[in-house]
C-alpha cells in the first residue's frame, strides 16, 4: 500500500474499496490491467455480515470464502414456507484477503473530484487513468429509502430456541415482537455465521425513513423473551443502516461522469439491500469491458428494464400498509422458485422479473392490487 501517488496513467483508477471496488480491482488486475484504487481507510476490516444465495456467486470465488451455507432456509409470513435454494453467509475476512491479493496499487485518501479519466484527492494529488470507476457505495443517503437492523450473535443452542428449531430463517414476519398489526413491520433474520455462532437480527427491510435502530433493539429483545430465549450478556452486536437506492438513477450517466460500479451504480437490489454477490459477479464483466475498451456493458436494455421493475417493487414495499406486508410476502414465497430467483437475483432477466410481478399481482387481494397500481402510476420523484 502507498499513500504517495505515483505519477502515471493507470488503465483504471477505482474510487472506493468496499466489496465492489475490491472485486473490480482484483479481477481487473487478473486481466493484466494496471490498477490504482483509493479509499480513505483501505485497511478498514469488513465487519458486516454479507450473505447471498449460493447460485448468485461467481465460479472464480473459492469455497473458503463461504462461512456457512444452509439448504432450504425457512420464511414465515402468514404461514411457514421453505425456500428451495441454498443460502450462504460469506467469510468476510477471507473474502477481503482474497480480493486484496494481486489487486494493484492502493492509495490512502479521499477523492473530492472525479471525471471519466482523472481523480483529485483531498490532499491535492491527482490520479490519471484511461478509465475512472466510482465505487463509493450509496453515499449520502438523505431522502433515499434505507434498510436498518439490529442483531446479536449467539450460540447455536440459543439460536435453535429463537428460531423454533429451524436451521436458518430468511424472514420471520410474525408479530411476537411486541408490535401492533398497524405498526411498521420488521422481521427476524436468523442465519449461522459458522459452526459456533448465529446472527439473530430484527430487520426493517426498507423504509423512508426506516425504523430506528433503538426501536428494532427493543423489538428483538421482546421477540426473544416471548420465545423464552435467555440473551447472553455481552453478546456481539451488529447495527445496520444503509441506503438501498443509488444517488443517481441506475444506468443513467452524463458524458462528464466516470463509470460507476457496485451499490453506487445501482447494482444493489432495492427490495432486499443485497449487492455483494452481484458486484462479485459483474466485476468480471466490467473488467473485460475496461480491457477491451468497450462502452458500458453493465446496462444493456435488459438490465435497465429490470432496474425499472425493481424500482416499482420498492415503491410498492414503501406504500403497503403494515398489515398487508405478511400477505404480500406470502405470495412472494408461494411463487415457483425459478420466479423467486429471477426476481431476487437476475438483473438481466426482464421476462422473469415481470412474470414474478404479474403472478404476485394475480394472487394479491384487491387492496394490495390497488397499492401496486397506484405505485405504478406514481412517478419516482413523488414517492415521499
Ligand X SMILES: Cc1cc2nc3c(=O)[nH]c(=O)nc-3n(C[C@H](O)[C@H](O)[C@H](O)COP(=O)(O)OP(=O)(O)OC[C@H]3O[C@@H](n4cnc5c(N)ncnc54)[C@H](O)[C@@H]3O)c2cc1C
Site residues (CB under 6 A) for ligand X?
15-21, 38-41, 48-51, 110-111, 135-137, 238, 240, 242, 262-264, 268, 273-276, 279
Strand order in the sheet with 66-71: 51-53, 86-90, 66-71
Pick the closer one to ligand X by CB: 111 or 356.
111
Residue 138, all three cell numbers: 450509496
Cα–Cα nearest to 107, from 91, 90, 126: 126
Minimum separation from the CB atom of position 340 to ligand X (A):
17
In the bound complex, what is the minimum distance in angstroms from residue 280's beta carbon to ligand X? 9
Q: Longest C-alpha distance within the chain, in Å? A: 63
Spatial distance between the Cα atoms of 263 and 370, rounded to a whole number of angstroms: 31
Q: Closer CB to ligand X, residue 132 or residue 158?
A: 132
| In contact, 205 and 211? CB cutoff 8 Å | no
Compute the distance between CA of residue 210 and CA of residue 216 in angstroms, rounded to an integer.
10
Contact 45, 22 (CB under 8 A): no
**Nearest distance in Å: CB 134, ligand X:** 9
| Closer by beta carbon to ligand X, 21 or else 207 | 21
Q: Which residue, 41 or 377, has its beta carbon nearer to ligand X? A: 41
d(CA 127, CA 12): 10
Q: Is beta strand 259-260 parallel, antiparallel or unpaired with respect to 105-108?
A: unpaired
Residues in the chain: 384
At closest approach, how far in Å is the CB of 89 from ligand X?
A: 8
**CB 370, min distance to ligand X, A:** 32
Q: Tell me how far, at minimum, the Cβ of 283 lies from ligand X, in Å.
A: 10
Return the number of the residue (137 or 352) whose C-beta is nearest ligand X: 137
CB of 117 to ligand X, least distance (A): 17
218: Cα within 13 Å, side-chain hemisphere: 6
Residue 61's closest CA among 31, 108, 87, 97?
97
Write down the least CB distance from residue 368 to ligand X, Å: 27
CB nearer to ligand X: pick between 136 and 223:
136
Burial environment of residue 186 by CB neighbours within 10 A (0 to 12, 13 to 18, 19 or more): buried
DSSP state of 2: B
Closer residue to ligand X (CB): 179 or 279? 279
- The CA-atom distances, in angstroms, between 118 and each of 180, 259, 369 are 53, 12, 48
Nearer to ligand X, 145 or 371 (CB): 145
Residue 115 grid coordinates: 471525471
Amino acid at each position: 500500500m502507498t499513500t504517495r501517488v505515483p505519477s502515471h496513467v493507470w488503465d483504471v483508477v477505482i474510487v472506493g474499496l468496499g466489496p465492489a471496488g475490491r472485486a473490480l480491482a482484483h479481477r481487473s488486475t487478473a486481466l493484466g490491467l494496471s490498477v490504482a484504487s483509493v479509499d480513505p481507510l483501505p485497511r478498514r476490516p469488513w465487519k458486516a455480515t454479507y450473505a447471498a444465495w449460493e447460485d448468485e456467486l461467481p465460479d472464480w470465488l473459492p469455497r473458503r470464502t463461504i462461512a456457512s451455507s444452509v439448504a432450504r432456509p425457512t420464511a414465515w409470513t402468514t404461514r411457514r414456507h421453505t425456500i428451495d435454494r441454498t443460502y450462504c453467509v460469506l467469510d468476510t475476512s477471507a473474502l477481503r484477503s482474497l480480493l486484496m491479493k494481486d489487486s494493484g496499487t492502493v492509495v490512502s485518501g479521499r477523492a473530492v473530484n472525479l471525471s471519466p479519466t482523472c481523480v483529485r484527492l483531498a490532499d491535492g494529488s491527482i490520479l490519471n487513468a484511461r478509465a475512472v470507476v466510482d465505487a463509493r457505495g450509496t453515499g449520502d443517503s438523505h431522502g433515499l429509502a434505507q434498510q436498518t437492523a439490529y442483531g446479536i450473535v449467539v450460540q447455536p443452542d440459543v439460536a435453535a430456541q429463537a428460531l423454533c428449531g429451524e436451521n436458518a430463517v430468511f424472514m420471520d414476519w410474525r408479530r411476537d415482537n411486541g408490535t401492533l398489526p398497524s405498526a411498521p413491520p420488521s422481521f427476524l433474520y436468523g442465519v449461522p455465521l459458522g459452526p459456533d455462532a448465529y446472527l439473530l437480527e430484527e430487520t426493517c427491510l426498507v423504509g423512508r425513513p426506516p425504523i430506528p435502530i433503538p426501536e428494532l433493539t427493543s423489538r428483538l429483545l421482546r421477540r426473544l423473551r416471548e420465545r423464552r430465549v435467555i440473551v447472553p450478556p455481552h453478546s456481539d452486536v451488529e447495527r445496520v443502516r444503509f441506503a438501498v437506492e443509488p444517488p443517481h438513477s441506475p444506468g443513467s450517466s452524463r458524458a462528464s461522469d466516470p463509470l460507476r460500479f457496485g451499490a453506487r451504480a445501482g447494482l444493489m437490489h432495492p427490495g432486499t439491500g443485497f449487492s455483494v454477490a452481484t458486484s462479485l459477479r459483474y466485476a468480471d464483466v466490467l473488467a473485460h469491458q475496461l480491457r477491451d475498451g468497450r462502452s458500458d456493458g453493465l446496462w444493456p436494455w435488459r438490465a435497465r428494464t429490470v432496474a425499472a421493475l425493481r424500482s416499482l417493487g420498492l415503491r410498492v414495499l414503501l406504500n403497503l400498509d403494515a398489515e398487508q406486508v405478511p400477505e404480500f410476502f406470502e405470495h412472494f414465497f408461494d411463487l415457483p422458485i425459478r420466479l423467486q430467483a429471477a426476481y431476487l437475483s437476475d438483473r438481466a432477466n426482464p421476462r422473469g422479473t415481470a412474470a414474478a410481478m404479474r403472478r404476485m399481482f394475480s394472487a394479491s387481494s384487491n387492496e394490495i392490487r390497488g397499492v401496486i397500481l397506484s405505485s405504478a402510476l406514481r412517478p419516482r420523484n413523488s414517492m415521499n
